[in-house]
Structure 1
Amino acid sequence: MKMLNIRSVGLSLSLEKGLPLGSGLGSSAASAAAAAVAVNEIFGGKLPALELVLAGLESEAKVSGYHADNIAPAIMGGFVLVRSYEPLDLIRLNFPTEKNLFFVLVNPEFEAPTKKMRAALPGEILMSDHVWNSSQAGALVAAVLQGDLVGLGKALSSDRVVEPRRAPLIPGMDGVKKAALEAGAFGCTISGAGPTVVAVTDDEEKGREIGERMVEAFMVGGGLKAVAMVKKLDTVGARLVSSISR
């Protein structure tokens, strides 16, 4: 509202959200994106996407830290590379429109607080692991731009820094990843800080089959109940769905 120079009124927002907290699904960014877009629309939709990301960043900073890796794509849609914060520099990575990309998201009944998952990360990493992960990051960007789902899955499945430390904290994670790949997923890894696990495929029906295998693996390997969702890449981002004038 400050960015819109609205100082004469106050607002009360009511949010209904289908995302569990602490799930690794960017639930705080979903709230921030919804609020920023809604308030902007109420007052005429004057702010561009980059300004909305900045507003959302302020909200994110209050609950999960000042980072745009969730809020930027939530508002802008698709894939967004965060190049820097001072100044904020975002690069939109356009995934080919003729390609289909589905995410299989499997959320177990297990708490994995972001603070705990961050604490598990190493204070120092080997140069060889740094070089490897940097290569995978570059390969991931190239795969997104080329619509190469095999390459995308391979890159996101090959982390040597974060996943090896966090996977042991999620019961059954290794078996879930193995089940996803054996069921035909192009790749599989931990979503955000976890405990949600994400796999990628190019077919919705195939995604449901992969999800079923992952749910079974969570029960067998970790004794955890889990639910699976299959979601197509959203290239639009947060937007006004409907409005009621009073």
Structure 2
Amino acid sequence: MAVNEMFGKRLSVEDLVVASLKSEEKVSGYHADDVTPSIMGRFVLIQSYEPLQLIELKFPTKKELYFVLVSPKFEAPTKKMHTTHPGEIGMAHHVWNCSQVGALVATVLKGDMVGLGKAWSSNKIVEPRRGPLIPGMRLLRRLPFRLGPLAIPLVALASTPLSSLMMSPPDMPLPKHMIHAFLSHDNLKVSTKVLQLDRLGARRILD
């Protein structure tokens, strides 16, 4: 991104995504789920890889979306996590996950934060296998639902395990409960942030 800015923005956003994909391929595989939203911001549906087709999902401008991010000091390499994926997927779980993807798209476009959180946290294929590898994750998954309908856990199980809880506005006392979930397992250190949905993506910020 910075190099592209220095040379007059010769590459389009799509070109930057492709370049980033090539870099990530060397590290953990050809996956666009991280680099695409990092560059484009907002929500993006990856329709296909060959050819690469990206669909922007517009969250309603009249609504704001905040996340409480709690990151434990714990490493789970993406390549290692990928080895937990099942070789075969039963039809029932396949249909379930496809339904949740459809619900995810619909709730993003509607700005339905409760529905979005439920769809996002209903993975029956990947998360059940990866979750047990992360200390404190089971306890963490139970906590948010006790704190209200907007405290929905959105767990990203990648190279840096990241548990995020959707909330609006960002004034619910969640971080200390999340921190305790990790502290209760091997006294893991954690960092917390409250962030707003980025609708613009990577960009040059002038002083």
Q: TM (normalized to structure 2)?
A: 0.92
Pair 1:199 & 2:168 matched:
no
SS at match of 2:202: coil
Residue number in structure 2 paired with 1:40: 4
Pair 1:238 & 2:179 matched:
no
Higher relative contact order (CA 8 A, sep 6+): 2
2:110 to 146, 162, 168: 146
Give the superposed CA RMSD.
1.6
SS at match of 2:16: helix
The Cα shift of 1:221 comes to 4.8
The Cα shift of 1:242 comes to 3.3
Residue number in structure 1 paired with 2:73: 109
Pair 1:216 & 2:180 matched:
yes
Q: Distance in 2 between matches of 1:222 and 1:119?
A: 24
Residue number in structure 2 paired with 1:120: 84
Residue number in structure 2 paired with 1:53: 17
SS at match of 1:204: coil
Larger radius of gyration: 1
Runs of 4+ with deviation above 6 angstroms:
none
The Cα shift of 1:222 comes to 5.4
Q: Distance in 1 between matches of 2:168 and 2:19?
A: 34
Pair 1:188 & 2:147 matched:
no
SS at match of 2:67: strand
Pair 1:84 & 2:32 matched:
no
Residue number in structure 2 paired with 1:73: 37
Residue number in structure 2 paired with 1:29: none
Alignment: residue pair count: 205
Q: Residue by residue, what CA displacement relative to the aligned partner does 1:172-204 show, whole Å, maximum 9, x if unpaired?
A: 111112112222344214214252212211112
1:100 to 59, 64, 68: 64
Query: What are structure 2's unaligned runs of at least 5 residues?
Result: none
Q: TM (normalized to structure 1)?
A: 0.78
- Relative distance call for 1:189 and 1:222 in structure 2 (3 A) is farther
SS at match of 2:165: strand
Asked whether the 8 Å contact 2:153–2:163 carries over to 1, the reply is yes
Query: What are structure 1's unaligned runs of at least 5 residues?
Result: 1-36
Percent identity between the two aligned chains = 52
SS at match of 1:205: coil
Pair 1:178 & 2:136 matched:
no
Q: Which amino acid aligns with 1:76?
A: M
Q: Which amino acid aligns with 2:125?
A: V
The Cα shift of 1:235 comes to 0.6
Asked whether the 8 Å contact 2:121–2:155 carries over to 1, the reply is no
SS at match of 2:143: helix
Q: Which amino acid aligns with 2:41?
A: G
The Cα shift of 1:65 comes to 1.6
Pair 1:159 & 2:123 matched:
yes
Q: Distance in 2 between matches of 1:231 and 1:198?
A: 10
- 232-241 or 181-190, which moves further after superposition? 181-190
